[in-house]
Every structure is written in C-alpha cells, then in structure tokens.
C-alpha cells in the first residue's frame, strides 16, 4: 500500500504532504508516514527546515474515529508529535481548511504555524465526551495561556485563523493561494534560530498567577456543562498545565483521557455522533435521487410555529411568502419575527444589516394566490383535521404542480391530510419544534405515498437550514410526541398516587433534562387548548385554569413564580391534586424517586421498541436523535434507546413488570437476545 504521506524538496526545505481524503484523518498510515518524514529530514544534512501541509480540502481534521475502540497500532499520535517537536530544524505547519482535534495537536507540536485566512483551528474532542489525547491540553495553554486555552478545550468550537493569530496560536496569516510558497519562505526565515517548542512555553503562568480564573470560567459555563464529565476533566487538564511539569501534565492528561474514554458518557456521545449522520439517510431512497429545487417557500399561519418556521428559511437566504387569515394576525406574526431577529442582533449574533436582509426576503400576504409559484409550502395552522384538509385542498388548487406540500402537524394523520389533494406523493410532514427558529430537530413524516424525490429534497433542505432531521412513519404523535405521551401518562398517574409533582420534575432535572413535565406545562401555558369554562372541571389542568393558574405567564401555574421566575411548589395546587385523587378514590402513598424515574422513562423505551417493531422509525438511533434534539434528553446518555441498552434491556423489562406496565414483544425479545435494539 502506498503511504498517504509523500515528501518534496524545495531547496533546503523538506515539504511533507498528506494526501488522505476526504479530511486527512490521522490514521495509522498517516502517523507512520509523518514520523518517517521527520526522520528523513533529520538524517539529511541538506534539509534545514520542514513544512507540513495537506492536499485536498483541509489540513488534518482529526483522529481516525474508526480506530476508536480497536487495538492501537503504532506509532501513536503523541510519540509522532514528540518526534516532530524534538527536531532542531524548524518545523512549520501550513494550515488550510480545518485543523481539528489531532490535526490541531499536530500544529501545536510544530514549531510554527502559518494559516490561510479562511482556515479554522479547534479541539472538538469535548463533543465526543473526551479531551485531547495527544498533549493538546498541555501544549496549548503553554503556548497561548490558560485563559485563551479554556474556551477552545472546553467549548470545542473551532476559531478562525485571525482569532488564532490574535491569541498566538497562529504565527502568521499567509496568502489564500500561496500557502505552500509562503510557508516555505517562512520556514527559511527561521533557519538557524533556536526552535520554539510549545511544550516549553510559559504562557500558562496566567493560571498560576490567577488560579480563580478556572472557577470563573466553570461558573460562566455552568448551564452548558451541567451533567457532563468531560468539561471538568478538560478544565482540570488545562489547570494541570500550570501546576505540573510538562511530562507530569501529559501523564495527567492521559489519565483523564483514559477515564473518559472508558466511561459511559463518551460511548454515548460517540454513539450520537454516528446516529446523527445515520438519521439523515433513508434506506430505500437512493443517494442519487434527483432533488427538487427549493427557491421559494410558502408558510401558512403566522402563529407560534409559522413565524419560527419562516425564520429558518429567511436566515438561510430563501424567500418566504407567509399567509394569514386576517391583517392583524399577519402584522402580529411578522412583528414577532422582526423582534426575534432584533433581539439576536442585540446579543451581537447578527448585524442590523442582516436583520433587514432576512426581513427583506419576507412577503406577508392574505391571498393564497401568492403561493402559486412556491416550491415548498409548509402549513402551520390550527391542529384540526378539517381545517388542515381545507387548507390542503386550497393549496392543491393554487400551488404549481411539482411543488411540495408539507404539514407541521404534531399528531394528525399525514396520509389523511394528503387525501385532500390530487398529489399525495408530494405531501410530507415537516414537524418543527418550538421555538422553531431555534430547536434543532425536524421530524420528517413520511406518508405512505410520499415520493423519493420529495423525501430526498426535504432531508437536504433540513441540513441547509441547520436542522437535524429524522424520519418517522405516520402514527399518532410520530416518534417524539408518541413517546412523550407515555411519559406524561405516568407523570399524571404518579401525582394522583401521591408523588409530589415537584419530585417528578426534579427527577427529570437530575437525570439531565432541562425541565420536567409540570415546569414545561407552566412554561408553555396551562390554558393552551382550555375550553375557558371554569365550571367544567374534569382534569387537574382544568382545575388549575379554573383557579386562574395559567402558568408562568401570570406568575402561577403548578408552581408559584417570583419576579426572577424562580418556582416554589404551591399549597393551593397540592390541595387541588389531593382533592382530585380523593374524588377518584386514589390511595395516596410515598413514592420514591427511583420509582418515579423508572415509571417515567421505561415506558418511553417500551414505546420506542414498538415504534421500531412497526417500522415507524428506521433505526433505534433515529429515536435517540429525535429525543436529544427535540426534547432535551441528555446527550451524555446517548438518547432513550442507547441509554436503555447501557442500563440493560432486561433491567427495563423487569422494571416495567414490577410496576405492572406493558412490555412489548420487541423489547422482550431484544432483552432476551443480544440486549440491543437491531
């Protein structure tokens, strides 16, 4: 096999070139080739400097993730990089594309780094529940300081070359079209000078002078890193860089890395990494299916969802025509959209010009005729079958042939909606989540007649507007809400049997959800869908509404809220629940947090198994993608199906049986077989 690494001589400079498409991942052959190339440079007196660069679209963009979990084959990356850094002849990294993870560590082990302006550098290991494992946490702070290193190591987002230059990670920006020549010239200019080694740098003393900076940083990230192991390990590693010798720091990094690598969180996050990519594939839709060009989008309804949905397309530069029933609703809807954009601009995440650009692509209208030339129309009107069918029949008569007609319905039968048209093949569900301009998930609901080109187009479009798509078949509530209703059923049952409703919320918070079902109810508004008749009380929610408890919006729902929106359990609500339970003859008992957790989560896994069995989800990992992106299931557990496998499917079955809850055939057979969902 030919090596992906080759060398070329340019006078006294040896240029080492990697050609390992698509992203120059640092697999074994690349590492071995790099090590050999450095040895070649050192053993040849005519070579006085080295440049390392990559062919193709990017500098080394990371480790070869397919090697994870397999027995290691040397040379490993740390020893390769140590050999590189030990050279007395200057070694220059010439960076284009993205120097990520191991690629950034290669750059750190070089004595100098030059980059084209479009290049990015970063250490994204944290996103797989890991920290850098080839001395990145030790070289980086020594080179740029602990304060500048922390966001890179703990946040995991790459930074542009210019920022990298500003913090001292890049020595010089070079011409976009002259990277190699400029890097060679740069290398020549350093010949004869003592080489600077990152491992010997002193910039990390900022963390020794001001050790509080680590706690300050941790506090600033508290919400983002809650529950995750890797960020604390990453902070500890960067801190160690200031406290320990380089050799001991590297040992510390290795210890922390190994602990994370063998833990369940990283396994879960690596599972998710592949799950998200898999979810974008539809098994029976060929890769080369022609796409329908989407140049103009129509949105029906400018309510909570319609406005948010429209913003996704406007932000991606796609014109949107939005339609309402009356002018005031239209004005209100577009007003909310503008306000949302302006708030983003206030936070500095958008310029005023970009706000105008996005809003400039919006055409508000009251006439369906204005939708005629749209390539995709998304309906987001009231959740009512008759209304939806009426809208689809109208769309069918005005929108051009070949256009996609989509519904944002949460529960309704997309196949039935399609019968209102003469083009059921072009009808699909596009289930966005609230707030639709922010939530990542897009559940694509595949009707029984939905065409391949329609599916391929919406999957591609999802990516374009920054969503993570997963496909569901047609069933009530699809994947996400169907499983949610099982959790809600148990949440309601538990409080009727004596569980404190705040305990139910707290159990889910402790598990890693951003909030529990009763907090969620308060946030969304308890009065959503309420019939507004205080004398008609058949549910706890109706009782709360009758008592004027509408949720956060009026300061009281399940909880009482102070000005800062801190919640306190309410005596009034306790009484309402107790009265309800008494009326229904439900005996009250103490219910442990373990029981609460198991009864909330195990039925969801069981429902997920049924969804799989019925072919409503293509794969178990798609269900994980739905729950992580749409409902705040903690990423570090890998999603409900992966989590169930981690704790043991037999444990889930035993738990369901203990509480006398149904166990599906599919769950039982997976538990009795491989212990995994196929």
Which residues are known catalytic residues?
Answer: 105, 125
Assess 445 for contact with ligand NAD (CB under 6 A).
Answer: no
In terms of DSSP bridges, do strands 320-323 and 297-300 run parallel, antiparallel, or are they unpaired?
parallel
Q: Return phi, psi of residue 607, to 5°.
A: -65, -40
CB closer to ligand NAD, 314 vs 391: 391
Q: Restricting to residues 562-591, name those near ligand NAD by CB under 6 A.
A: none
CB closer to ligand NAD, 130 vs 417: 417
Quick check: 380 and 323 in contact, CB under 8 A?
no
8-state DSSP, 534: T
The number of residues making up the chain comes to 678
Assess 310 for contact with ligand NAD (CB under 6 A).
Answer: no
Q: Restricting to residues 380-399, name those near ligand NAD by CB under 6 A.
A: 380-383, 387, 391
Assess 98 for contact with ligand NAD (CB under 6 A).
Answer: no
8-state DSSP, 527: T
Instruction: Name the segment binding ligand NAD (CB under 6 A); options: 93-101, 318-326, 556-564, 594-602.
Output: 318-326
Total residues binding ligand NAD (CB under 6 A): 23
Assess 245 for contact with ligand NAD (CB under 6 A).
Answer: no
Assess 409 for contact with ligand NAD (CB under 6 A).
Answer: yes
Report the 3 state secondary structure along 99-143: EECHHHHHHHHCCEEEECCCCEEECHHHHHCCCCCCCHHHHHHHH
- The only residue of 161, 235, 300, 540 in contact with ligand NAD, by rule CB under 6 A: 300
Give long-range contacts, CB 8 A cutoff, 24+ apart: 188-191: 188/11, 188/12, 188/13, 188/48, 188/49, 190/49, 190/90, 190/92, 190/111, 190/112, 191/12, 191/48, 191/49, 191/89, 191/90
Task: Name residues whose C-beta falls within 8 Å of residue 98's C-beta, 6 or more positions apart in sequence.
Answer: 23, 58, 59, 61, 119, 120, 121, 122, 158
Assess 329 for contact with ligand NAD (CB under 6 A).
Answer: yes
Q: Which value, in Å, is the radius of gyration of the alpha carbons in the chain? A: 28
Assess 413 for contact with ligand NAD (CB under 6 A).
Answer: no
Q: Which residue is nearest to ligand NAD (CB)?
A: 303
Assess 410 for contact with ligand NAD (CB under 6 A).
Answer: yes
| Helices and strands (DSSP H and E) totals, the chain | 29, 19
Report the 3 state secondary structure along 276-290: HHHHCCCCCCCCCCC
Assess 323 for contact with ligand NAD (CB under 6 A).
Answer: yes
CB closer to ligand NAD, 380 vs 670: 380
CB closer to ligand NAD, 329 vs 546: 329
Assess 417 for contact with ligand NAD (CB under 6 A).
Answer: no
Assess 649 for contact with ligand NAD (CB under 6 A).
Answer: no
CB closer to ligand NAD, 379 vs 505: 379
For 227: left if phi > 0, alpha if psi spans -120 to 50, otherwise beta; the answer is left
Quick check: 515 and 632 in contact, CB under 8 A?
yes
Min separation Cβ 232 and ligand NAD, Å: 34
- The only residue of 166, 325, 438, 678 in contact with ligand NAD, by rule CB under 6 A: 325
Site string for ligand NAD, 352-381 (x = CB under 6 A): ----------------------------xx
Quick check: 645 and 676 in contact, CB under 8 A?
yes
Assess 305 for contact with ligand NAD (CB under 6 A).
Answer: yes
Instruction: Name the segment binding ligand NAD (CB under 6 A); options: 4-12, 143-151, 428-436, 649-657.
Output: 428-436
Task: Name residues whose C-beta falls within 8 Å of residue 676's C-beta, 6 or more positions apart in sequence.
Answer: 645, 649, 670
CB closer to ligand NAD, 82 vs 383: 383
Residues at the site binding ligand NAD, with contacts judged by CB under 6 A: 300-306, 323-325, 329, 380-383, 387, 391, 408-410, 432-434
């Amino acid at each position: 096999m030919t090596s992906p690494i080759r060398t070329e001589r340019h006078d006294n400079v040896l240029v080492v070139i990697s050609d390992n498409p698509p992203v120059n991942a640092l697999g074994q052959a690349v590492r071995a080739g790099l090590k050999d190339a450095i040895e070649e440079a050192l053993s040849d007196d005519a070579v006085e400097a080295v440049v390392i660069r990559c062919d193709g679209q990017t500098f080394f963009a990371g480790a070869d993730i397919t090697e994870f979990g397999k027995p290691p084959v040397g040379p490993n990356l740390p020893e390769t990089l140590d050999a590189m850094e030990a050279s007395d002849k200057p070694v220059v990294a010439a960076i284009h594309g993205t120097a990520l993870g191991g690629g950034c560590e290669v750059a750190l082990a070089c004595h100098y780094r030059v980059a084209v302006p479009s290049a990015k550098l970063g250490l994204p290991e944290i996103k797989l529940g890991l920290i850098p494992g080839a001395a990145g946490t030790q070289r980086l702070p020594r080179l740029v300081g602990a304060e500048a290193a922390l966001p890179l190591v703990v946040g995991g987002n790459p930074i542009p070359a210019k920022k990298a230059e500003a913090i001292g990670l890049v020595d010089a920006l070079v011409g976009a079209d002259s990277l190699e020549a400029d890097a060679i010239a740069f290398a020549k200019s350093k010949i004869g000078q003592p080489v600077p080694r990152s491992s010997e740098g002193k910039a990390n003393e900022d963390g020794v002078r001001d050790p509080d900076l680590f706690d300050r940083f941790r506090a600033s990230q508290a919400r983002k890193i809650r529950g995750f192991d890797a960020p604390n390990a990453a902070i500890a590693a960067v801190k160690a860089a200031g406290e320990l010798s380089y050799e001991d720091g590297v040992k510390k990094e290795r210890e922390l890395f190994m602990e994370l690598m063998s833990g369940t969180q990283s396994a879960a996050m690596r599972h998710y990494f592949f799950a998200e990519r898999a979810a974008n594939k539809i098994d029976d839709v060929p890769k080369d299916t022609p796409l329908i060009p989407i140049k103009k989008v129509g949105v029906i309804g400018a309510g909570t969802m319609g406005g948010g949905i429209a913003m996704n397309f406007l932000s991606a530069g796609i014109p949107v025509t939005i339609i309402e029933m009356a002018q005031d609703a239209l004005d209100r809807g577009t007003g909310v959209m503008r306000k949302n954009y302006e708030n983003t601009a206030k936070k500095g995440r958008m310029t005023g010009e970009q706000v105008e650009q996005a809003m400039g692509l919006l055409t508000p209208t009251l006439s369906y005729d204005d939708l005629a030339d749209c390539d995709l129309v998304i309906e987001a009107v009231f959740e009512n079958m008759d209304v939806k069918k009426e809208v689809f029949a109208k769309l069918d008569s005005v929108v051009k042939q070949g256009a996609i007609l989509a519904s944002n319905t949460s529960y309704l039968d997309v196949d039935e909606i399609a019968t209102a048209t003469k083009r059921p093949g072009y009808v699909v569900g596009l289930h966005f989540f609230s707030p639709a301009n922010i939530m990542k998930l897009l559940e694509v609901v595949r009707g029984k007649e939905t065409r391949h080109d329609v599916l391929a187009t919406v999957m591609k479009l999802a990516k374009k507007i920054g969503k993570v798509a997963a496909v569901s078949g047609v069933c009530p509530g699809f994947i996400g809400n169907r499983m949610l209703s099982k959790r809600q059923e148990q949440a309601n049952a538990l409080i009727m049997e004596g569980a404190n409703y705040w305990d139910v919320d707290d159990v889910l918070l402790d598990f890693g959800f951003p909030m529990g079902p009763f907090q969620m109810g308060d946030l969304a508004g308890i009065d959503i869908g309420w019939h507004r008749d205080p004398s008609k009380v058949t549910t706890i929610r109706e009782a709360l509404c009758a008592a004027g408890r509408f949720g956060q919006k009026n300061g009281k729902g399940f909880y009482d809220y102070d000005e800062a929106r801190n919640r306190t359990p309410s005596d009034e609500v306790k009484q309402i629940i107790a009265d309800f339970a008494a009326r229904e003859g439900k005996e009250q008992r103490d219910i442990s947090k373990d029981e609460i957790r198991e009864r909330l989560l195990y039925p969801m896994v069981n429902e997920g198994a049924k969804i799989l069995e019925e072919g409503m989800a293509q794969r178990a990992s798609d269900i994980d993608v739905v729950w992580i992106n749409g409902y705040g299931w903690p990423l570090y557990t890998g999603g409900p199906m992966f989590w169930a496998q981690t704790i043991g499917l037999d444990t889930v079955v035993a738990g369901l049986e203990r509480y006398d809850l149904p166990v599906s055939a599919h769950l039982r057979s997976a538990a009795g077989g491989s212990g995994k969902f196929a």
